[in-house]
Amino acid sequence: MSAEDRTAPREHRRPGSWSAVVWIGLIAGTLDITDNLIFNHFRGITPTQVFQYIASGLIGAKAFAGDAAPVALGVALHYSIALTWTAIFYWSSRRTPVLTRRSVASGLLYGGFVYLFMNFVVLPLSSVPRPRAPVTTFSRVNGILAVVFFIGLTISLLTRWSDKRRRPHRRRSHNCSPALPAAVMSLRARCRTRSRAPQRGQAGDASSVRQTGPPAYIGPSDFTKPGAVPSRIQAELS
């Protein structure tokens, strides 16, 4: 097992992983809250009221007191939630690579899961004041689309893009590593052994060394007897 394989489960501890979670979460959270602010603007709800409503999930009706503290708390809560969902998907994709290989499908499914969990688990357990009227279909559809596309899909696509951006660096560093596979090392050792072995005509005792250079001249006197092999040719064949 290579050093890269042994350290793969610890990748989430690297500073680069944390920075990726932060900037992906900030982008997803900004897209989501921008949709929320624009949609509520046409309903006559101000940005202050939006963040006060978010803060009321933690402190209840006191969030609507009117000062700036609940607004800041609402901003912090919103981005904390976005970063939490980003971290869950990012580190899950480290152990389940299919999440980034099928980034569109996994992002849409993840966004649907986030919407269901936030609206049917977290929201009922929070201190948010209960609405006096039921949520309209238009508001429900906008909420679903915003979470699915701006949270789920955005997180999955940016996670895949972050992986592709970091992969060439890991490949270059792996190729530059002095540690080579055992098969390659064995092949190189055999090549060295063959190159150092004595070759014919270059090493060994005198009996194994043959005459090199151009062949000796054979004249007419060497063929005085019919069928006789010239002595110089015999010396070459012996």
- pLDDT one-digit tens code per residue, 31-64: 999 999 999 999 999 999 999 999 999 999 999 9
Q: Is residue 200 part of a domain?
A: no
- Residue 44 resides in a domain: yes
For residue 48, is it within any domain? yes
Average of per-residue pLDDT across 2-28? 69
pLDDT band of residue 183 (cuts 50, 70, 90) is low
Residue 91 lies in a domain: yes
Give how many domains the chain has, as a whole number: 1
Residues in contact with 116: Cβ distance below 8 Å, sequence separation at least 6, in sequence order:
none
Instruction: Residue 90: give the domain boundaries.
Output: 10-125+135-170
Q: Which residue has the tokens 């005792």?
A: 205
Model confidence at 209: pLDDT above 70: no
Residue-level pLDDT at 82: 98
The whole-angstrom separation of Cα 21 and Cα 4 is 22
Written as six digits, the tokens of 211 are: 């005459």
pLDDT, tens digit, for every residue of 84-110?
999 999 999 999 999 999 999 999 999
Amino acid code (one letter) for 237: L
Q: Quote the DSSP letter at residue 42.
A: T
* Assigned domain for 199 exists: no
Indicate whether 86 belongs to any domain. Answer: yes
Residue 66 belongs to a domain:
yes
pTM of the prediction? Answer: 0.65
| b/e map 93-106, b = 16+ CB within 10 Å | bbeeeebbeebeeb
| In the predicted structure, residue 155 carries a pLDDT above the cut 90 | yes
Q: Is residue 51 exposed (0-12), middle (13-18) or buried (19+ Cβ within 10 Å)? A: buried
**What spatial distance separates the first Cα and last Cα of the chain, rounded to whole Å?**
57
The answer to whether residue 205 is domain-embedded is no
